[in-house]
Structure 1
């Protein structure tokens, strides 16, 4: 396969962007970027160490994704490293001009003894948008992971609630070379795929977290159960190979952000580590 850094970027009306990172440990035990390459629509801020982890902010300085755009992401956390990948701004996909969706392909690898947190701001599909996201996560058996995702219903302030054309989400999670979770779903406002969300909350925000690196005895079940309430509907449970899953529907963006803050603190406490500050509101 051709290295993503060598693939042509701008072609006609579309952009082929990429992010290619690897983190390793220095001799003094500090995580650093041993490999980095990126191209629009992604820009990398200056990484810094916070609470024992390397914090890397991924910025999209463009207006967002359009149909036909493609972003290829590869991030490797080398043995024993700790990395947090954050996006300080929301990801946006605009109205499609043709039949081809915008595509984001993500491949994350976390090696033995390493930890990776992936915590973006909300994904906001605008009216008429088409988007396809493919994620593959490969973990060593003793690796740690907090993989957050937050899908908004659209630009609610403009009255765009579930007005996109279609979203396709794919995720494979492997631990020690064994597939333990596979998700495939299509969200299309014209069919029944959004019925459950709409019935619970008319403008529901969807928050998920895939977790590894917390023992079953330390899993904070009671704290997580206590997060459910009038504006948050949350469930959680174990996967194979010591991994866990958290899913939640939130009534609005404020409830979703509040949940994200609480979830992050609870999961970090359960893991025995401090949560690195992200320089974002309450995070």
Structure 2
């Protein structure tokens, strides 16, 4: 897809560092429709920002570019203010998003966006690439709804594709590629099952996980060949998935980062 076909191109670049012993936002580049709410410091010292898209959704042909850089010693938490609603695309042109995360040795970045909701007839493709220095810490999740489920649009989108890769010290430690084009086999076991909501995640830290979170039939965790902790979850309702994902996330954060629970007020 060329830039000439893109309806909107949003750009957001964030650079976090440490000044006087505190994490601060050193630089931000914003191009509508992407922007941030001013940073908030959490009681634990982590600096939190919300990504905002005031347009209420993304259209076929729209493109978003998000880059986050975290210096050594800094602690950053990046959230989105609301779900990403992918609007119908009559010509099947996909909305696209590229996310690049860079964390220096001794830094920590957590990126937990709200769920993506692909409307009937929509298409969405994204890539997420995280480059970590040795000793850097990362938490990253992705949550997907099958569509506007309560409106009867479950699995009515054209395409959803996401590629998530994490590299540490130049070596790949995690790779997850997902492409869904709903059809007659979408509900087969191992693809989507009977659920309407999916979640995945990856965490990279120094200590080893000894207590792996799990919810039979709903959520599983494990260790990738590269040493990263991974998570997979499926549920038939959004709040149930969010609760299971939140509990597992806090367990992994505590074990890998030695971090206290996140106390976020929206």
Q: TM-score if structure 1 supplies the norm length?
A: 0.87
How many angstroms does 1:13 deviate by? 7.2
Say which SS state the counterpart of residue 127 (structure 1) adopts.
coil
Say which SS state the counterpart of residue 196 (structure 1) adopts.
coil
Which residue in the other structure is 1:250 paired with?
Answer: 235
Whole-angstrom CA distance in 2 between matches of 1:59 and 1:196: 36
Indicate yes or no: 2:78 matched with 1:85: yes
Q: Is the 8 A contact 2:149 2:196 kept in 1?
A: no
**Deviation sequence 1:129-156 (CA, Å, 0-9, x none):** 0111111111112111110111111111
Whole-angstrom CA distance in 2 between matches of 1:145 and 1:194: 32
How many angstroms does 1:269 deviate by? 2.2
How many angstroms does 1:12 deviate by? 8.0
1:262/1:197 CA distance change after superposition, 3 Å: same
**Equivalent residue in structure 1 for 2:149, among 148, 151, 156:** 156
1:198/1:238 CA distance change after superposition, 3 Å: closer
Whole-angstrom CA distance in 1 between matches of 2:261 and 2:27: 25
Indicate yes or no: 2:265 matched with 1:279: yes
Q: Is the 8 A contact 1:115 1:144 kept in 2?
A: yes
Which residue in the other structure is 1:37 paired with?
Answer: 29
Q: Is the 8 A contact 2:6 2:63 kept in 1?
A: no
How many angstroms does 1:66 deviate by? 0.4
How many angstroms does 1:191 deviate by? 5.4
**Deviation sequence 1:156-203 (CA, Å, 0-9, x none):** 1111101100011112210110122222221011253553367632x4
Indicate yes or no: 2:159 matched with 1:166: yes
Indicate yes or no: 2:257 matched with 1:268: no
Whole-angstrom CA distance in 1 between matches of 2:179 and 2:191: 15
Stretches of structure 2 that go unaligned for 5 or more consecutive residues are none
Q: TM-score if structure 2 supplies the norm length?
A: 0.92
Say which SS state the counterpart of residue 56 (structure 1) adopts.
strand
Indicate yes or no: 2:88 matched with 1:95: yes
1:241/1:197 CA distance change after superposition, 3 Å: closer
How many angstroms does 1:241 deviate by? 4.4
Query: What's the Cα RMSD here?
Result: 1.9
How many angstroms does 1:97 deviate by? 2.7
Whole-angstrom CA distance in 2 between matches of 1:219 and 1:149: 24
Q: Is the 8 A contact 2:65 2:97 kept in 1?
A: yes
Whole-angstrom CA distance in 2 between matches of 1:246 and 1:12: 36
How many angstroms does 1:256 deviate by? 1.1
**Equivalent residue in structure 1 for 2:52, among 56, 59, 64:** 59
Whole-angstrom CA distance in 1 between matches of 2:74 and 2:250: 20
Say which SS state the counterpart of residue 273 (structure 1) adopts.
coil
Higher helix share: 1
Whole-angstrom CA distance in 2 between matches of 1:170 and 1:265: 24
Which residue in the other structure is 1:49 paired with?
Answer: 41
How many angstroms does 1:237 deviate by? 1.4
Number of paired residues?
262
Stretches of structure 1 that go unaligned for 5 or more consecutive residues are 1-7
Deviates more, 1:101-110 or 1:185-194: 185-194
Whole-angstrom CA distance in 2 between matches of 1:187 and 1:102: 15
Whole-angstrom CA distance in 2 between matches of 1:103 and 1:234: 28
